[in-house]
Amino acid sequence: MRPLMLRPSLVLSLAVVAVSAAAQPGGRTVYRCPGPPVLYTDAISTAEAEKRGCRTIEAAPITIIQGPRPAAAATKPGAAAVGAPPASAAASRPADQRVSPADQRSRDSDARRILEAELKREEDKLAALQREFNSGEPERRGDERNYQRYLDRVEEMKAAVARKEADIAAIKRELAKLPATAP
């Protein structure tokens, strides 16, 4: 018997069929349909795909990632306060995980006390920095014979004062977010 000789074109077409079959598990064709949003599907027929102007995707793996769902709107307009969690978040918690109003007031007063103490410390540090800064003309030190070293230190002090002022402003904003304490 003679060995079977295949033509190169026949071998190539068999290879294409084999790759195509391997790329489409279960023999299903995946289509890419135009339009906003672009749709990738294998759930439509060939005729429907042609009618929509879809193209087949061959030998290209597709990964689908589910995006986050939009948050549900509040039931009444204006019901949710700015910065407050949606009403559904509080309602979805089990009863044993909810915080009682007395506990919440206690937590708020603790947070206020901590922030006020931190604000006082930062204001004291700012006052010390401003005294040392001396309105932009601090005293020269002995290691600053080079005038540029002195100027560099003045710039560092100026930046430190600006950072402290920004820190104090941030603490004041946090304090403003907390509910007012009852007399």
Q: Which residue has the tokens 């006020």?
A: 116
> Residue 144: what pLDDT?
83
Residues 6 or more apart whose Cβ sits within 8 Å of residue 130: 161
Asked if pLDDT for residue 62 goes beyond 50, the answer is: yes
Closest C-alpha among 51, 8, 20 to residue 33: 51
Instruction: Give tens-digit pLDDT for 99-116.
Output: 888 898 999 999 999 999
> pLDDT band at 69, cuts 50/70/90?
confident
Q: Where are the domains of the chain?
A: 23-60, 99-177
> Do 135 and 157 contact (CB within 8 A), yes or no?
no
Residues in a beta bridge with 30: 57
Quote the pTM value. 0.46
- Say what the pLDDT of residue 59 is: 64
**Is the model's pLDDT at 71 over the cut of 70?**
yes
Contact 123, 165 (CB under 8 A): no
Count other Cβ atoms within 10 Å, centred on residue 51: 10
Pairing of strands 55-57, 30-33: antiparallel
